[in-house]
Amino acid sequence: ACPRCHLKERCSPSDYRRIRRWEHEHVLEVMQRRLDRKPDAMTIRRSTVEHVFGTLKHWMGATHFLTRTLGRVSTEMSLQVLAYN
């Protein structure tokens, strides 16, 4: 389509165009479509879930995880949530 397009000079002045995508880009697109269908979902999430993370960060000084690996980070998060509850 591009070689015959009358807008090619404005769109892509070079002979070729390289497009790079992250290997998980489709996940972001699916999530964006979900948000587009239900725009209030993010507002609800902000009011019910996000404040907990802010509280953990502020009250408990949990600005970042102190451990590495998914299992250990999961344990650390579980302890913080347990203390919060």
Residue 67, domain member (yes or no): yes
Residue 3, domain member (yes or no): no
- What pTM does this model have? 0.45
Nearest Cα neighbor of 65 from 82, 80, 48, 52 is 80
Give the range of the structural domain holding residue 85, as residue numbers without chain letter. 50-85
Number of domains in the chain: 1
Residue 82, domain member (yes or no): yes
Residue 29, domain member (yes or no): no
The count of C-alpha atoms lying within 13 angstroms of the C-alpha of 24, restricted to the half-sphere facing its C-beta, is: 3
Residue 38, domain member (yes or no): no
Cα–Cα distance list, 78 to 43, 46, 75 (Å): 25, 20, 5
**pLDDT tens series, the chain, 85 aa:** 577 888 877 777 777 777 788 899 999 999 999 999 998 888 888 888 878 888 888 887 878 888 999 999 999 989 988 988 8
Residue 7, domain member (yes or no): no
